Amino acid sequence: NGSQAEALIKSTIDTFGQIDILVNNAGTTRDKLIMKMKDEDWDVVLSSNLSSVYNCSKAVVRPMMKKRSGRIINITSVVGLTGQAGQTNYAASKAGIIGFTKSLAKEVGSRNITVNAIAPGFIPTALTDVLPEQQIQAIIETTPVGRLGTVEEVAAAVLFLASDEAAFITGQVLSVDGGLVMQ
């Protein structure tokens, strides 16, 4: 929630003197067809995946604006770009992050703060560990590079967007998906 995010940012600034980079990386699913989805399934996913981005970003914007620099990097998903049956809540939360990223980039860009998103494809994590092997093989077959991505590849994209080399990049969504979603 907002007060927890404020306390986290304050603690970080108290410890390190300033905050230069915020990476919003939260993700949970409660997959169900919408006819079977409960309000709680919707609320938990939107709160964890989208409201957390709002709360942490809101808490960090003022200190970043004061020092006239910062990087905010939001982790979304290719599902936020494509949608997925049984994931209306997850897709809505991840698509919401994309709209949030673009809007916030316009609000804070004049203060030398960049806001970008990374949309990973299928990366082996706790969220994908529950998928049946047959589904994973189908994903691999439809991914142009013919494999799943790695956590390290997503981390490399985060490092790039946090770097000085990315100072002129803002409001963008970088897909790290092996070509799964080509636009």
The residues annotated with a catalytic role in the active site are 90
Please state the rounded mean pLDDT for residues 142-161: 96
Query: Mean pLDDT over residues 34-52, rounded?
Result: 95
Whether residue 182 is contained in a domain is answered as: no
% the chain with pLDDT above 70: 99
User: What pLDDT is attached to residue 183?
Assistant: 56
Mean pLDDT of 145-154: 96
The chain-wide mean pLDDT, for the chain, equals 95
Domain of residue 22: give its range: 2-176
Q: What is residue 132's predicted lDDT score, i.e. its pLDDT? A: 85
Task: Tell me how far apart the alpha carbons of residues 4 and 132 are, in angstroms, rounded to a whole number.
Answer: 36
Q: Is the pLDDT of residue 61 over 90?
A: yes
Residue 40 lies in a domain: yes
SS3 category, 158: helix
In a domain? residue 140: yes
Could you tell me the CATH number of the domain that includes residue 124? 3.40.50.720
Stretch (H or E) spanning 117:
strand 113-120
Per-residue pLDDT, averaged over 141-147, amounts to 94
Q: How many domains does the chain have?
A: 1
- Domain-embedded: residue 183: no
